[in-house]
Structure 1
Amino acid sequence: MARNPYFDILFEPVKIGPVTTKNRFYQVPHSAAMGYKMPNSHAGMRAIKAEGGWGVVCTDIVSIHPTSDDAPYPYLTLWDDADIAALALVAEKVHEHGALAGIELWHGGSSVANLFSREAPIGAESGRATYNDPVQSRIATKSDIKEIRRWYVNAAKRAKIAGFDIIYVYATHDYLIHSFLSSQRNFRPDEYGGSVENRVRLLRELIEDVKNVVGDRCAVAVRFCADGGVSRHNLLNEGVTPQIEEQKEMLSILAELPDLWDVNVSDYSFEMGSSRFVKEASLENFVSYVKSITSKPVASIGRFTSPNIMVEQV
C-alpha cells in the first residue's frame, strides 16, 4: 500500500550538524537497566529499535568519571579507554540498520553518592548528595571546573572512537550541569554564579569544548530542562513562572551553539505513563518556545501514537 503523501515529512532526512538522520523518528536517551553488566543485551535492545526504523537511537546515561558513580545502579561508563569496547558494540549494532547512534554523557554532580568509587560528590553547591545516602557533596572549585571540562572532553573523544554520531551534553534533572544553571541551587559568588549569563557559563564552555574535539564528525546535542524545575501543578495554576522566563533567557544565550536541542522537563513521570492515559504531545508548549528561539533541530517526547499529531508537531 502506498503511503499517504501527508506523512512524507516524517520520513524526510534531517541534517544535525555534520550528520544526517534518515527520518524524524528519534529515540531519546533513556535507561534500560542493563548498563555495564549486560553490554550485549543492551546493544541488542538498541539494535532492535534501529531495525524497527528509528532514525536515531541513543544510549542510557553514560558516566564520564568516577566522581559520577551511581552505584548500585549499573549505568554505562566512559571512565577510561577500557570502557570503549562495550559502547562501540552499541554503535555498531545501531549502524547495521542504517540509524545514527547517540550517546548521553553524564555527570551526576551532587545527586550521586559514589558508593563504589568512594570519590567525594561535587556540584555547584554543597549539600546532601542523595535522598537515600548520608553523603555530603562539596562545592566545585575553579580547579574542579577545569577538571570537569577535561573529563567531558576525554569522554567525548572516547565516544567518537566508539563510533557514535551524536554526543550529548546532559544539562537537566538536577545533575551537575543543571545545578550550575539553577538559581535555586547555585549561589556562587564567582563568574559561574549569580546572573543568568554566569550560570550558563559552564554549559557554554562544555558545548564549545566538546564541539572542538568531535564536531568535525559528530553532532553535539544538549538535553535541556525547559520548565526550569517547576512542578506541573504550579504551571497549571500559575502559568508562566520566573523559572521558565530564565530558561528562555538561557536558551537565547546558547541557542545556536549545539547542533540539536533535546527538550524535556524536570518531572517526566507523566510521560512515562501508558499512552492510553497520557495526552499526546504533552510537551508541545515547551517545544514550541524552544523552536521559536533556535534555528537548530529540536527533539522531544510526548507518548506519540498518532502520525497525524506527529505531522502537526513538525
Structure 2
Amino acid sequence: MPCNPRYEILFEPVGIGPVTAPNRFYQVPHASGMTNALPRVRAAFREAKAEGGWGVICTGACSIDPTSDDAPLPFATLWDENDIRAHALMTEAVHRHGSLAGVELWHGGASVMNRTSRLPPLSPSGIPWMATHVGFMGNLKPKTMDKADIREVLRCQAEAARKARTAGFDIVYVYAGMGYLGYEFLLPEYNHRADEYGGSIGNRVRFVREMIEVTKDAVGKDCGVALRVSLEELRGRPGRNQPSEAHELIELLADLPDLFDVKMDSSPTDCSASRFTGEGSHEPVIDFVKSLTKKPVVGVGRFTSPDTMVSQIRRGVLDLVGGARPSIADPFLPAKIREGREAEIRECIGCNICISSWHD
C-alpha cells in the first residue's frame, strides 16, 4: 500500500549542519543496557531500527572520561581505540540502511559514582546531585571544579568527539540535561560559583557553550553537533529579558549547535506512564524553542500516532519526531507508515518496563 498523503511530510529530509537526515524519524539517545561488553549485540539492536526506517539512530550516554564512570551500573565509553572499534560496529550497521548515526557524549558530573575509576565526581560547586536514578551515590561528595578541571573536561569532550568522528558517527552530542554535568552548571541550586561560570544565566550557560565550541572544532565539517538540554526547571524561572531562563538559554545558544534536542527533565518526567499522560506531553515545556532558533529541533512525547507526529511538525513545534520508547516497541514504525500499514504499528503503551534497564 502507498503512504497516506497526509504523512508524506514525515519522510522529508532534514539538514543537520553538514549532514542530512533522510526523514523526520529520529531515534533519540536512549540506553540499551548492553554496554561496551556486548558491542555486536548493541550494533544489531540499533541496526534493527535503521532497517525499520528511522532516519537517525543514536547511542545512549557514552562517557568521555574516567571521571564520568557510572559503575556499578552498565555504561558505554569512548575512551580509547578499543572503544572506537566497538562503536564502529554500530555506525557501519546503521549506515548500511542509509540512516545517520549519533553519539551522546556524556559527563555525569555529581551524579556518578566512579566505583571503577575511584576518581572524585566533579561538579560546579561541590554539591551532590539530590537524586541519582538508583540512589547509589551514598555519602560521596563531589569535587568543586577549578579552572584546570574545566579545561580538562573540555579537552576530554574534544578528544571524545574526535574519536566519535573516527568511529563513523554523523552527529555528536553535547549533553546538558538530566542532572549531569552540563545541567548542573545551568541550575543555580548546584552552581554557586562567583566566577564567569556562575551567577547570571549568561554565565551559567558558558560551560555548555564552551563544550559546544570545542566539539564543533573537533569534528570540523564532518559531523553535525547536537545539544541535548532539559528545559522544565529553567522554564519555571522568570528571565530578565524573556519569559523564562529556558527562553534565555535557547536565545543565547540559538546559532551554535546544528540541532537542539529538547526535553523536560529526566526519566520520571520525560517518560511518564500512559495512564497519566498522553502523546506529546512535552509540548508545554518545549513549544517555544523553534521561535528562538533557525536550527532544527527534535523532541519526544511517546509519539505513536502519525497524525500526532504530523501535527507537531505542521504547527512548528518540532522538525524531527523523536522516539525512544516507540522505537523500542516497534523498530519498524516508520516503515509501516511509509508503506500504508500504520494500523499495524505496535504502539508503545507506556508501561515503562524499558526504563528498568536504561544504561547503555
TM range (shorter): over 0.9
CA contact (8 A) 1:166 1:218 kept: yes
- Name the structure 1 match of 2:334: none
Instruction: State the 1:80 CA deviation.
Output: 2.0
Per-residue CA distance 1:74-115 (angstroms, 9 max, x = gap): 211012222111111111111111110000000001111100
> Are 2:197 and 1:192 equivalent residues in the alignment?
yes
| Overall identity of the aligned pairs, in % | 50
Q: How does 1:214-229 map to 2 (within 5 A)?
A: 214-228=219-233
Instruction: State the 1:228 CA deviation.
Output: 2.0
Q: How does 1:149-228 map to 2 (within 5 A)?
A: 149-228=154-233
Q: How does 1:1-314 map to 2 (within 5 A)?
A: 1-128=1-128, 131-132=135-136, 133-228=138-233, 240-242=236-238, 245-273=244-272, 278-314=277-313
Say which SS state the counterpart of residue 7 (structure 1) adopts. Answer: helix
Instruction: State the 1:140 CA deviation.
Output: 0.4
Instruction: State the 1:274 CA deviation.
Output: 5.3
Question: Compared with structure 1, are the counterparts of its residues 24 and 79 closer, same or farther at alpha carbon in structure 2 (3 Å cutoff)?
Answer: same
Per-residue CA distance 1:21-59 (angstroms, 9 max, x = gap): 110000000011111121111111000011000000000
Instruction: State the 1:304 CA deviation.
Output: 0.9
- Name the structure 1 match of 2:337: none
Cα distance in 2 for partners of 1:29, 1:182 equals: 22
Instruction: State the 1:247 CA deviation.
Output: 1.4
CA contact (8 A) 2:50 2:56 kept: yes
Which amino acid is the alignment partner of residue 311 of structure 2? E
Give me the CA root mean square deviation.
1.7
CA contact (8 A) 2:264 2:286 kept: no
Which amino acid is the alignment partner of residue 254 of structure 2? A
Say which SS state the counterpart of residue 102 (structure 2) adopts. Answer: strand
Cα distance in 2 for partners of 1:229, 1:241 equals: 5
TM-score, length basis structure 2 = 0.81
- Name the structure 1 match of 2:346: none
Cα distance in 2 for partners of 1:149, 1:172 equals: 17
Which amino acid is the alignment partner of residue 289 of structure 2? V
Cα distance in 1 for partners of 2:197, 2:266 equals: 25
**Residue ranges of structure 1 left out of the alignment (5+ in a row):** 231-239
Which amino acid is the alignment partner of residue 45 of structure 1? F
Cα distance in 2 for partners of 1:275, 1:24 equals: 24
Structure 1 residue runs of 4+, over 6 Å off? none
Which amino acid is the alignment partner of residue 256 of structure 1? D
Greater Cα offset, 291-300 or 265-274? 265-274
| Count of aligned pairs between the two proteins | 305
Say which SS state the counterpart of residue 228 (structure 1) adopts. Answer: helix
Per-residue CA distance 1:184-233 (angstroms, 9 max, x = gap): 11010111111111111111111111111213010000001111267xxx
Per-residue CA distance 1:156-195 (angstroms, 9 max, x = gap): 0000000000000000111111111111110101111111
TM-score, length basis structure 1 = 0.93
Which amino acid is the alignment partner of residue 36 of structure 1? N
Cα distance in 2 for partners of 1:227, 1:139 equals: 25
Say which SS state the counterpart of residue 157 (structure 2) adopts. Answer: helix
CA contact (8 A) 1:182 1:199 kept: yes
CA contact (8 A) 1:287 1:298 kept: no
CA contact (8 A) 1:26 1:54 kept: yes
Which amino acid is the alignment partner of residue 242 of structure 1? P
CA contact (8 A) 1:222 1:258 kept: yes
Cα distance in 1 for partners of 2:84, 2:59 equals: 13
Instruction: State the 1:276 CA deviation.
Output: 6.8
Instruction: State the 1:6 CA deviation.
Output: 1.8
Cα distance in 2 for partners of 1:102, 1:295 equals: 21
